[in-house]
A and B are shown apart, each in its own frame.
Chain A
Amino acid sequence: MFTPPPRVAAWAPQGRAAIWGRSGGTAVNYNWNWGIFWQISPDGAHTYFQLLLLGTWWTLATAFSAWILALVFGSLIGVARTTPNKWLVRFGNAYVELFRNIPLLVQMFLWYFVLPEVVPASLGIWLKQQHNASFYTAVVALGLYSSSRVAEQVRAGILSLPRGQRFAGQALGLTLPQTYRYVLLPMAYRIILPPLTSEFLNTIKNSSVALTIGLLELTARARAMQEFSFQVFEAFTAATIIYIIINVIITEGMRRLERHVAIPGYLGGKVPKRGKLRLRNV
Chain B
Amino acid sequence: MFSNFDFDVIWRSLPYLFLDGMTFTLTLTAMATLLGIFWGTVLALMRLSGFAPLSLFAAGYVNLMRSVPLVLMIFWFYFLVPYIGQWITGASSPIRVGAFVSSLVTFSLFEAAFFSEIMRAGIQSIPRGQMAAAQALGMDYKTTMAYIVLPQAFRNMVPVLLTQTIILFQDTSLVYVLSITDFLGAASKIAQRDGRLVEMYLFAALVYFVISLAASYCVRRLQHRIAIIR
Interchain CB contact under 8 A, A26 and B93 = yes
- In the complex, what distance in Å separates the CA atom of A159 from the CA atom of B221? 21
The answer for the CA separation of A244 and B65 in the assembled complex, in Å, is: 10
Q: State A254–B176 Cα separation when bound (angstroms).
A: 34
Partner of B117, one of A8, A248, A274: A274
B163 in complex: contacting residue of A7, A107, A206, A279, CB < 8 Å: A279
Q: How many contacts A-B (CB < 8 Å)? A: 153
Q: Provided the pairs A101-B209, A244-B64 are in contact, do residues A106 and B93 lie with their beta carbons within 8 angstroms?
A: no
Chain A interface size, under 10 / 10 to 19 / 20 to 34 / 35 or more = 35 or more
Given A13-B177, A19-B78, A102-B212, verify A206-B184 contact (CB < 8 Å): no
A1-45 residues at the B interface, CB under 8 angstroms: 6-9, 11, 13-16, 19, 26-30
CB interface residues, B 145-172, toward A, < 8 Å: 159-160, 163-164, 166-167, 170-171
A239 interface residue per 8 A CB criterion: yes
Residues A13 and B192 in contact, CB atoms below 8 Å apart: no
Residue among A6, A8, A236 with max Cβ neighbours from chain B (10 Å):
A236
One of A66-74, A75-83, A109-117, A131-139 at the interface: A109-117
Residue count of chain B within 8 Å CB distance of chain A: 58
Known contacts A13-B176, A13-B178, A101-B216; is A219 also within 8 Å of B69 by CB?
Answer: yes
Q: Is A232 an interface residue (CB 8 A)?
A: yes
Q: Which of B76, B93, B197, B208 contacts A102 (CB 8 A)?
A: B208
Query: CB of B83 within 8 A of chain A?
Result: yes
B117→A208 contact, CB < 8 A:
no
Q: How far is the CB of B97 from chain A (nearest CB, A)?
A: 10
Q: Cβ of A103 and Cβ of B170 under 8 Å apart?
A: yes
A residues apposed to B, CB below 8 Å: 6-9, 11, 13-16, 19, 26-30, 97-98, 100-107, 109-110, 113-114, 117-120, 201, 205-209, 211-212, 219, 222-223, 226, 232-233, 236, 239-240, 243-244, 247-248, 272, 274-277, 279-281
Can you name 27 A-B pairs with beta carbons within 8 Å?
A26-B93, A26-B94, A27-B82, A28-B93, A101-B170, A101-B208, A101-B209, A101-B212, A102-B205, A102-B212, A106-B184, A107-B205, A117-B198, A118-B1, A118-B198, A205-B67, A208-B69, A233-B80, A236-B75, A240-B64, A240-B68, A240-B76, A243-B67, A272-B121, A276-B164, A281-B159, A281-B223
